[in-house]
Amino acid sequence: MSFDKDDSAGYLANHMARLFAAALTRRIAPLGLMPGQFMVLLELWREDGLTQRDLVERLDVEQATMANTLNRMERDGLIARAPDAADRRARRVRLTDRARALEAPATEAATEVNARALARLAPGDRARFSEMLQGVIAALRADR
Protein backbone atom coordinates (compact mmCIF):
# COMPACT_ATOMS: atom_id res chain seq x y z
CA MET A 1 0.00 0.00 0.00
CA SER A 2 2.68 2.49 0.97
CA PHE A 3 5.29 3.49 -1.56
CA ASP A 4 8.62 1.75 -0.99
CA LYS A 5 11.50 3.79 -2.38
CA ASP A 6 13.82 0.78 -2.49
CA ASP A 7 11.46 -0.81 -4.94
CA SER A 8 10.98 2.27 -7.07
CA ALA A 9 12.93 2.22 -10.36
CA GLY A 10 13.04 6.02 -10.39
CA TYR A 11 14.51 6.27 -6.92
CA LEU A 12 17.03 3.52 -7.66
CA ALA A 13 17.96 5.24 -10.93
CA ASN A 14 18.76 8.45 -9.09
CA HIS A 15 20.76 6.66 -6.43
CA MET A 16 22.70 4.60 -8.96
CA ALA A 17 23.50 7.64 -11.10
CA ARG A 18 24.83 9.53 -8.07
CA LEU A 19 27.05 6.61 -7.13
CA PHE A 20 28.34 6.26 -10.70
CA ALA A 21 29.10 9.99 -10.83
CA ALA A 22 30.95 9.84 -7.51
CA ALA A 23 32.99 6.82 -8.60
CA LEU A 24 33.91 8.46 -11.90
CA THR A 25 34.71 11.77 -10.22
CA ARG A 26 37.14 10.08 -7.86
CA ARG A 27 39.03 8.61 -10.82
CA ILE A 28 39.02 11.49 -13.30
CA ALA A 29 39.32 14.48 -10.99
CA PRO A 30 43.10 13.85 -10.83
CA LEU A 31 43.09 14.36 -14.61
CA GLY A 32 41.41 17.73 -14.12
CA LEU A 33 38.08 16.44 -15.46
CA MET A 34 34.50 16.35 -14.21
CA PRO A 35 31.83 13.90 -15.39
CA GLY A 36 29.87 16.43 -17.45
CA GLN A 37 33.02 17.38 -19.28
CA PHE A 38 33.91 13.74 -19.82
CA MET A 39 30.74 13.04 -21.73
CA VAL A 40 31.38 16.00 -24.04
CA LEU A 41 34.89 14.73 -24.64
CA LEU A 42 33.52 11.29 -25.55
CA GLU A 43 31.75 12.90 -28.50
CA LEU A 44 34.65 15.12 -29.52
CA TRP A 45 37.18 12.29 -29.37
CA ARG A 46 34.95 10.48 -31.82
CA GLU A 47 34.44 13.54 -34.04
CA ASP A 48 36.18 16.84 -33.44
CA GLY A 49 34.78 20.18 -34.58
CA LEU A 50 31.13 19.60 -33.69
CA THR A 51 28.82 22.53 -33.04
CA GLN A 52 27.08 23.10 -29.75
CA ARG A 53 23.85 22.02 -31.45
CA ASP A 54 25.43 18.70 -32.50
CA LEU A 55 26.53 18.04 -28.93
CA VAL A 56 23.09 18.89 -27.57
CA GLU A 57 21.47 16.34 -29.88
CA ARG A 58 23.97 13.58 -29.25
CA LEU A 59 24.04 13.91 -25.47
CA ASP A 60 20.36 14.77 -24.98
CA VAL A 61 20.88 17.71 -22.65
CA GLU A 62 19.41 21.19 -22.95
CA GLN A 63 21.21 23.83 -24.97
CA ALA A 64 21.76 26.05 -21.96
CA THR A 65 23.33 23.18 -20.01
CA MET A 66 25.74 22.53 -22.87
CA ALA A 67 26.62 26.22 -23.21
CA ASN A 68 27.60 26.36 -19.54
CA THR A 69 29.56 23.11 -19.64
CA LEU A 70 31.44 24.31 -22.72
CA ASN A 71 32.24 27.59 -20.95
CA ARG A 72 33.84 25.67 -18.10
CA MET A 73 35.73 23.43 -20.52
CA GLU A 74 37.07 26.46 -22.37
CA ARG A 75 38.06 28.05 -19.08
CA ASP A 76 39.89 24.82 -18.19
CA GLY A 77 41.74 24.65 -21.49
CA LEU A 78 39.99 21.54 -22.82
CA ILE A 79 38.37 23.09 -25.88
CA ALA A 80 38.57 26.14 -28.11
CA ARG A 81 35.59 27.60 -29.95
CA ALA A 82 36.04 29.05 -33.43
CA PRO A 83 33.46 30.70 -35.68
CA ASP A 84 31.96 28.49 -38.37
CA ALA A 85 32.95 29.55 -41.88
CA ALA A 86 29.50 29.15 -43.41
CA ASP A 87 27.15 30.06 -40.55
CA ARG A 88 28.10 32.99 -38.41
CA ARG A 89 25.68 31.97 -35.67
CA ALA A 90 27.53 28.70 -35.03
CA ARG A 91 30.82 28.08 -33.28
CA ARG A 92 32.85 24.93 -33.91
CA VAL A 93 34.11 23.22 -30.78
CA ARG A 94 37.64 21.85 -31.10
CA LEU A 95 39.76 19.80 -28.72
CA THR A 96 43.00 21.17 -27.34
CA ASP A 97 46.13 19.00 -27.20
CA ARG A 98 45.54 18.65 -23.50
CA ALA A 99 42.06 17.18 -24.07
CA ARG A 100 43.36 14.81 -26.75
CA ALA A 101 45.97 13.50 -24.35
CA LEU A 102 43.29 12.61 -21.79
CA GLU A 103 41.45 10.12 -23.99
CA ALA A 104 43.31 6.99 -22.92
CA PRO A 105 43.48 7.58 -19.15
CA ALA A 106 39.92 8.91 -18.92
CA THR A 107 38.30 6.09 -20.88
CA GLU A 108 40.30 3.58 -18.85
CA ALA A 109 38.94 5.13 -15.67
CA ALA A 110 35.36 4.94 -16.97
CA THR A 111 35.83 1.35 -18.08
CA GLU A 112 37.03 0.43 -14.63
CA VAL A 113 34.07 2.11 -12.97
CA ASN A 114 31.68 0.18 -15.21
CA ALA A 115 33.46 -3.09 -14.49
CA ARG A 116 33.30 -2.61 -10.74
CA ALA A 117 29.68 -1.52 -10.87
CA LEU A 118 28.62 -4.62 -12.78
CA ALA A 119 30.87 -6.99 -10.88
CA ARG A 120 28.04 -8.49 -8.83
CA LEU A 121 25.86 -9.28 -11.84
CA ALA A 122 26.13 -12.71 -13.36
CA PRO A 123 28.30 -12.32 -16.48
CA GLY A 124 25.38 -13.20 -18.72
CA ASP A 125 23.26 -10.53 -17.04
CA ARG A 126 25.57 -7.67 -17.88
CA ALA A 127 24.53 -7.29 -21.50
CA ARG A 128 20.91 -7.83 -20.48
CA PHE A 129 21.25 -5.01 -17.98
CA SER A 130 22.46 -2.55 -20.62
CA GLU A 131 19.62 -3.56 -22.90
CA MET A 132 17.12 -3.02 -20.12
CA LEU A 133 18.57 0.41 -19.35
CA GLN A 134 18.21 1.27 -23.02
CA GLY A 135 14.65 0.00 -23.02
CA VAL A 136 13.73 2.16 -20.05
CA ILE A 137 15.42 5.17 -21.64
CA ALA A 138 13.47 4.60 -24.85
CA ALA A 139 10.19 4.32 -22.93
CA LEU A 140 10.84 7.50 -20.97
CA ARG A 141 11.82 9.40 -24.11
CA ALA A 142 8.65 8.28 -25.82
CA ASP A 143 6.61 9.46 -22.84
CA ARG A 144 8.17 12.90 -22.95
Question: What are the residues facing 91 on neighbouring strands?
Answer: 83
Residue 37 near residue 74, CB atoms below 8 Å: no
Q: Is 18 in the site for DNA (CB under 7 A)?
A: yes
Q: Among residues 62, 59, 20, 23, which one has the least CA distance to residue 42?
A: 59
Distance of CA 73 to the CA centre of its chain: 14
Positions 60 through 79 that interact with DNA (CB under 7 A) = 60-65, 67-72
Q: Please, which residue, 53 or 128, has the CB nearer to its own copies? A: 128
Contact partner, 29, from its own copies, DNA, none, Cβ < 5-8 Å per class: none
Q: How far is the CB of 83 from its own copies (least distance, A)?
A: 28
How far apart CA 59 and CA 95 sit, in angstroms, is 17
> What is the rounded distance in angstroms from the CA atom of residue 137 to the CA atom of residue 129?
12
Tell me if 19 contacts its own copies by CB under 8 A. Answer: yes
Residues that bind its own copies (CB under 8 A): 2-3, 5-24, 35, 39, 42-43, 45-46, 60-61, 107, 110-111, 113-114, 116-121, 125, 129-130, 132-141, 143-144
